Structure 1
Amino acid sequence: MLLSLVLHMYSMCCVLPAAVLLGTAPTYVLAWGAWRLLSTFLPSRFYQAVDDRLYCIYQSMVLFFFENCTGVQILLYGDLPKNKENIIYLANHQSTVDWIVADILAIRQNALGHVRYVLKDGLKWLPLYGCYFSQMYLVIFPEGTRYNPELTKVISASQTFAAQEGLPVLKHVLTPRIKATHVAFDSMKNYLDAIYDVTVAFEGTVDDKGQRKGAPSMAEFLCKECPKIHIHIDRIDKKDVPEEQVYMKRWLHERFEIKDKLLIEFYDSLDPERRNKFPGESVNSKLSLKKTLPSFLILSGVTAGMLMTEAGRKLYVKTWIYGTLIGCLWVSIKA
C-alpha cells in the first residue's frame, strides 16, 4: 500500500505540471488572439508590449513548476547577467529542458517576455503553439539536434564531418551549424549588445562506470531526477564576432571547442574536486516564488473559471480544435 502511494505521488510530480501547462494553452491563445484583434489599428509597439507581457506570464508559470516544485539547484558561472540586454543566446543542445534553461537566465534579467527561439521546422506543427513559436527567434542551438550519448551514429557522423572539414573533433557536443547563427546575427547586429555563449551541464548524468548518460527529459526533470543544473556563461561583445559567414563558421566552432573542454572537465576529470563543476566560483541562484506564483494563479484560475460554465467549456474545446487547424493552415501557407 505504501509503495503504491509512493509510486502514485511520483507520477503526479510529472502529470500535474503537464496537465496545467497543456490545460492552460487555450486560455493563453484566447487572450493572445483577442489582443491581436483589438490591437489591429494600434501602433505595433502597443501590440508588442502586451504580447511580451502575456508571454512572460505563461513562461513564468512554466518556471513555477521547474524551479519551485522540483528541488533543482541552479548554479551559475562566468559572466553573470546583470542588466537587461539585447542578445543572441548560443547553447549546447541536450534535452527538451534546454529551452527552459534559457528562460531560467532570462527571468533573472527581467527579460522573460522578450525571449524568442529558433526551432526545428517540424515543431511549427505543435497544436496551438506551433504557429506562435515558429515566429520567434534569438535562442539558438547551433548543433541542430540534441546531443545524446546513446545516439552513436549521430555523434559519429558529426565527428566525421568535422574531420573532413579540417576542424577539431568534439567529444561532448556536436559540430555546430552556422546558418541560423549567421542569419540571426546579420539581421540583428544593429540592435544587439552581445552574444551569450552558454554551456549547460546536468548533474547526475554519469553512470557508475563513468560513462555519460543522456540528459534528463522534461518528464524526468519534473520528477526530480536532476538535482543541479550548471550553467556557464561567456558574454561576447558583438564587435568581437566576425560578420562574414566563412569567418563566423570558424569562430562558432572555436566557441564549441571551448564548450567541449568545459564539459570534458565536468564529466571526465579524474580529480573528484574538479568533476561535476565548471572552473571558477559558482553562484547558487534561487528564484523568488513571487516571480512565478502570480502567473500560475492567474492562468490556472482563469482556466478553471472557464471550465466551470457550459459556454466556457465549449469555447475551450473549440479553441483547441479550431486553433490547431488554423495554426496548421497558417504555417502551411507560410511554408
Structure 2
Amino acid sequence: MLGTAPAYLLSWTACRLISAVLPSRVYRMMDDHLYNIYQSLVLFFFENYTGVEVIIYGDIPKNKENVVYLSNHQCTVDWIIADMLAVRQKALGHVRYVLKDGLKWLPLYGWYFSQHGGVYVKRSAKFDVKAMKKKLSSHTKLGTPMYLVIFPEGTRYNPDLKKMISDSQAFASKEGLAVLNHVLTPRMKASHVAIETMREHLDAVYDVTVVYEGMVSKGASRQPAPTMPEFLCKECPRVHIHFERVDIKEIPPESEFFRRWLHERFEIKDQMLASFYNPEDPDRKGKFPGDSQRSQLSITKTLPSLLFLGGLTLPMLFTESGRKLYVRTWVYGTVLGWLWVNLSP
C-alpha cells in the first residue's frame, strides 16, 4: 500500500493539472474517483487478504448520504472500518477525516488527506474553530459529497492505560456526566462544529460502535485492540460493527444540549460494550444487541484497484529512470505536502 503512494500521487497530479481550468466541482469528482480506487486497494488487504469476517448489526442505507460518522476509537484500524461501511454504500471516495494535528507530518498522506477534504484539529484551547468552519463551509457551498469521520474520544481507548481511563472518568464525574468504563468521555467541540457548519448539507449522523473479536483474554478481561500489522497478520478473526442512523433533525443544535446528546450516545456504546464482554445472558457473549448479518465484500470491488495501481507502480521500479522518479516523488511530495499543510491559509 505504501509502495503505490508515488504512483497514486503522480496520477493525482495529472488529474489536478487537467482539471485546473475546469470548475472546482469537476476536480472534486475526479479526486473522489481516484481516492475510491486507492481506498479499494486498502480494503483488498484489510478484507479480502486477511479474510476477516465483518458482522454488521443494523441496516446500512443503500443510497449515498451526506453524513458525519461518529465512532468509538481503539486503534489505527478504526479508520479502515469507516471504509468498510462506506464501500457498502458506494461512497468510498467521499470519506474524509477529522484528524489530530500531529498526523499532518505523515509523508505524502498527511498532505493528501488535507487536500482531499480532511480537517486537522488541535485539542482544548488550541482548537481553531474558525479554520474548521471555513474549510467545511467551502465544501458545503460546492455541494461536496460528505462522509466525514470523527472519533469524539480524541485518542484511542486502551484498557492497559489505567491513568488515561481514570482521568477521563474523573473529568466526567466533575462535569456531572455519567462515568464510562469501555469508552473515554467524548469531546464535543469538533463534532458540534462539523454538524452545525454543514447542517443544511447533511442527511444524518452514523453512530458506529466497533469490537475486534479475539481481544479478550482467557480471564475475560478486555485486551488492547489489534494494531494495523496485527490485523493484517490475520490476528483478528471477526469485526463486530453496530450501526445506527440518526436523522440530522434529531440532533440538538445548542452546544449544551448537543454535549448531553453526544455523551448519551457514548453511554449507549458503553453499555453495549459491557454487554458484549460480560453479558448477563451467557448466550449473548460476544454479540451486540439485535440481529446481525455477515457482510462479505466482493473481491471484484477491490481487485481492479490492485491491478491498476500495481500496473502503474511496477514499471517505475524496473528501470533506473523510473526508480529515480519514484524516490523523487516520495521526497518532493513529502516536502511540498508539508509546506502545503503548514503554510497555506
TM-score (norm 1): 0.92
Residue 185 (structure 2) aligns with: 175
The equivalent residue for 2:44 is 64
Corresponding residue number in structure 2 for 1:184: 194
Structure 1 equivalent of residue 97 of structure 2: 117
Of residues 129-138 and 189-198 in structure 1, the stretch that sits farther from structure 2 once superposed is 129-138
The whole-number CA distance in structure 1 between the counterparts of 2:108 and 2:165 is 33
Establish whether residue 35 from structure 1 lines up as the match of residue 15 from structure 2: yes
Q: 1:258 pairs with 253, 259, 268, which one?
A: 268
Aligned to 2:132: none
Counterpart of 2:99 in 1: which secondary structure?
Answer: coil
Counterpart mapping for 1:263-278 below 5 A: 263-278=273-288
Residue 305 of structure 1 is matched in structure 2 by 315
Q: List aligned pairs for 1:281-320, cutoff 5 A.
A: 281-320=291-330
How far, CA to CA, are the matches of 2:23 and 2:341 in structure 1?
A: 25
Superimposed CA distance per residue, residues 18-64 of structure 1 (whole angstroms, 9 cap, x where no aligned partner)? xxx11000111111122112211101111011100100000000000
Does residue 213 (structure 1) correspond to residue 223 (structure 2)? The answer is yes
Which amino acid letter does the alignment assign opposite residue 136 of structure 1? G
Q: State the alpha-carbon separation in 2 of the partners of residues 33 and 124 from structure 1.
A: 19
SS in 1 for 2:282: coil
Partner amino acid, structure 2, of 1:85: E
Map 1:1-335 → 2, pairs under 5 A: 21-134=1-114, 135-136=117-118, 138-334=148-344
Quote the offset at 1:265 in angstroms.
Answer: 0.5
Q: In structure 2, how many angstroms separate the alpha carbons of the residues matched to 1:182 and 1:166?
A: 20
The letter of the residue matching 1:67 is E
Identity level (%): 65
Deviation, structure 1 residue 209: 1.0
The range that moved more, 132-141 or 98-107, is 132-141
Q: Give 1:270 shift.
A: 4.4
Shift in Å at residue 237 of structure 1?
0.3
Amino acid at match of 1:264: A
Query: Where in structure 2 are there 5+ consecutive unaligned residues?
Result: 120-147
**SS of equivalent to 2:216:** coil
3-state DSSP of counterpart to 1:208? coil
1:69 and 1:22 map into 2 onto residues whose CA distance is 16
Structure 2 counterpart of 1:82, one-letter code: K
- CA distance in 1: counterparts of 2:61 and 2:230, whole angstroms: 28
Residue 236 of structure 1 aligns to a residue whose secondary structure is: strand
Instruction: Summarize deviations over 1:67-110 as a string: whole Å, max 9, x none.
Output: 01112100000233321111100000001000100000000000
Question: What is the DSSP-based 3-state SS (H/G/I as helix, E as strand, rest coil) of the residue aligned with 1:23?
Answer: coil
> 3-state DSSP class of the match of 1:255?
helix
2:174 and 2:59 mapped to 1: Cα distance? Answer: 34
Letter in 1 for 2:234: K
SS of residue matched to 2:96: coil
In the alignment, the residues of structure 2 paired with residue 234 and residue 110 of structure 1 have an alpha-carbon distance, to the nearest angstrom, of 18
Partner deviation per Cα, 1:98-137 (whole Å, 9 max, x = no partner): 0100000000000000000011100011001101213415
After superposition, give the CA deviation of every residue in 1:301-329 in whole Å (9 maximum; x if it has no partner): 11001222222211111000111011111
Q: Secondary structure at the match of 1:116?
A: strand
Q: 2:158 is paired with a residue of what secondary structure?
A: coil
SS of the counterpart of 1:233? strand
**How many residue pairs get matched?**
315
**Which residue in 2 is equivalent to 1:10?**
none
SS in 1 for 2:217: coil
